[in-house]
């Protein structure tokens, strides 16, 4: 490590560059991090249309705040280093000091990065288990919102549309998604053919629709709003057109909508929600959520 400088080596520089960079970094981070946390973080989607969406915004806020000092460190380091240590054009090629490592810096780096990573993983796990964060959890969900008394909606993907089925409304099926406001919703996402993915953008909900699998996701709606629904998994030719608009409405509006839909589909209602051997329609959707969220049962269509 400490070999004699050779003739072609640049003269030793005694400035404490490291201290300068660290001070500049600390100052910049101290200014930038609160600004980012307060002004940038809350702007990140999906927004506050649901409790889960709000949780994701908070997550994004925390992570944006954590990566800001990292960005600042590299900005200061390269801003300073590349200006300060670049070779003068006229010089012959001179060697720098032969520094081959520093175990203290290495140890410090490992400790700092490990701490950040473990904090992030712990924080993410807590946020995930708190209320499921709006993600598809499979047939046996491990994370559900507190005070759990859900309103069930089944989301049935097929090429190339979503059908929404309401077990509590006598198995009403509709191509419109209406959800009551301020309600704990339990979505059961499944597919009749290939893999789709149900994405309610502004609600912060995403769950893959797999054939033969009951993928449960939770979302707590807040005040009335509209949101975009898109298929987020490539599912064939008309995948780009597999979208519609969902609505969160007040309970009375929801009841009115449900009554109107029941009237609309009255003629086929006797055939819905029944297994085919009982005389139901042969195309009745094969997949019904079991109430306890237990393992799925296939009812042959």
Partner 1 sequence: MTEIAVTPPAPLWRRLIGFNLLTGIVLGVGGWYVGWFGAHAVVGPSLDYFGDIDYNELSIYLAYLGGVVGFLVGLGFLNYPLARLRGYPPSLREKETQGLGRYFSLCTDHKVVGIQYLWGIGLFFFIGGLNAMLIRTEQLTPHNQVFPVGTYLTLVGMHGTMMMGMMTSGILGPFANYLIPIMIGARRMAFPRIEALTFWILMSAGAILTTTIFFGGFPTGWTGYAPLSNQANAGMDCYVLFFALVGISMTLLGLNMIATILTMRAPGLTWTRLPIFVWGVLSTAVLMVLAAPVLIAALSMEAFDRTMQTHFFVQAAGGSAYLYENLFWIFGHPEVYILALPGFAIVLELLPVFSRKPLWGYRLAVAGLLGVSLLSWFVWQHHLFVSGINGDLRPFYMLSTELISIPTGFTFLCGMMTIWRGNIRFTVPMLFCLAWFFNFLLGGLSGVFLSDTPSDITTHGSFFSMAHFHYTIMGGLVFTFFAAIYYWVPKMTGWELNERLGKIHFWTMFIFFNSTFAPLFAIGFLGQPRRTPVYPSNLQFLNDWVSVSAFLLGISMLVFLFNLVWSLAFKKQPAEMNPWASRSIEFQLPSPVPVHNFDRIPVFSSDPYGYGEGPPPVLVPAGAPAGSD
**Tokens representing residue 12 in the block:** 């030793």
Among 34, 79, 97, 275, interactor with partner 1 by CB under 8 A: 97
Give me the least distance between CB of 108 and partner 1, in Å please.
10
Give me the least distance between CB of 156 and partner 1, in Å please.
14
The angle subtended at Cα 163 by Cα 157 and Cα 164, nearest 5°, is 115
Note whether 124 binds partner 1 by CB under 8 A: yes
Q: Which of residues 251-280 bind partner 1 (CB under 8 A)?
A: none
Give me the least distance between CB of 173 and partner 1, in Å please.
21
Note whether 32 binds partner 1 by CB under 8 A: no
Note whether 45 binds partner 1 by CB under 8 A: yes
Cα–Cα distance list, 196 to 160, 166, 193 (Å): 9, 20, 9
Among 16, 17, 35, 226, interactor with partner 1 by CB under 8 A: 17
Picking from 292, 269, 270, 272, the residue whose alpha carbon sits closest to that of residue 284 is 272
Between the CA atoms of 134, 137, 142 and 146, what dihedral angle is there, to the nearest 10 degrees?
Answer: 20
Picking from 133, 1, 4, the residue whose alpha carbon sits closest to that of residue 59 is 133
The angle subtended at Cα 263 by Cα 261 and Cα 269, nearest 5°, is 90
Per CB under 8 A, the segment of 31-39, 120-128, 259-267, 275-283 that binds partner 1 is 120-128
CB closer to partner 1 out of 86 and 277: 86
Per CB under 8 A, the segment of 30-38, 95-103, 176-184, 260-268 that binds partner 1 is 95-103
The residues pairing with 152 across neighbouring beta strands, listed in sequence order, are: 186
**Tokens representing residue 151 in the block:** 């309103």
Q: Which of residues 68-87 bind partner 1 (CB under 8 A)?
A: 70-71, 74, 77-78, 81-82, 85-87
Among 50, 127, 174, 185, interactor with partner 1 by CB under 8 A: 127
Q: Which of residues 157-216 bind partner 1 (CB under 8 A)?
A: 189, 193-195, 197, 199, 201-202, 204-208, 210-216
The residue behind tokens 């029941």 is: 262
Note whether 153 binds partner 1 by CB under 8 A: no
Strands 172-174 and 161-166, by their bridges, are: antiparallel
Whether residue 301 contacts residue 276, with contact meaning beta carbons closer than 8 Å, is answered with yes
**Total of residues contacting partner 1 (CB under 8 A):** 99
């Amino acid at each position: 490590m400490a070999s004699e400088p050779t003739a072609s080596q640049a003269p030793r520089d005694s400035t404490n560059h490291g201290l300068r960079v660290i001070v500049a970094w600390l100052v910049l981070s101290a200014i930038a991090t609160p600004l980012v946390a307060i002004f940038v973080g809350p702007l990140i989607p999906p927004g506050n249309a649901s409790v889960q969406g709000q949780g994701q915004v908070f997550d994004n806020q925390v992570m944006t705040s954590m990566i800001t000092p990292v960005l600042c460190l590299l900005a200061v380091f390269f801003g300073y280093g590349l200006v300060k240590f670049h070779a003068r054009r006229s010089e012959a090629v001179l060697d720098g000091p032969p520094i081959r490592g520093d175990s203290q810096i290495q140890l410090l780096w490992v400790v700092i990065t490990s701490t950040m990573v473990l904090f992030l993983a712990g924080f993410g796990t807590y946020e995930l288990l708190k209320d499921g964060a709006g993600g598809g959890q499979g047939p046996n969900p491990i994370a559900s919102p507190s005070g759990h008394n859900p309103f069930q909606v089944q989301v049935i993907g097929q090429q190339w549309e979503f059908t929404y089925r309401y077990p509590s409304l006598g198995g009403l099926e509709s191509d419109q998604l209406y959800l009551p406001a301020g309600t704990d919703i339990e979505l059961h996402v499944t597919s009749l053919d290939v893999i789709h993915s149900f994405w309610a953008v502004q609600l912060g909900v995403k769950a893959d629709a797999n054939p033969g699998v009951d993928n449960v996701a939770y979302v707590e709606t807040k005040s009335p709003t509209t949101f975009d629904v898109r298929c987020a998994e490539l599912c064939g030719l008309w995948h780009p057109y597999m979208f519609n608009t969902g609505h969160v409405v007040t309970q009375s509006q929801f009841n009115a909508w449900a009554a109107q839909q029941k009237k609309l589909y009255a003629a086929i209602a006797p055939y819905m929600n029944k297994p085919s051997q009982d005389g139901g329609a042969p195309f009745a959707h094969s997949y019904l959520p079991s109430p306890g969220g237990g393992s799925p049962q296939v009812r042959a269509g």
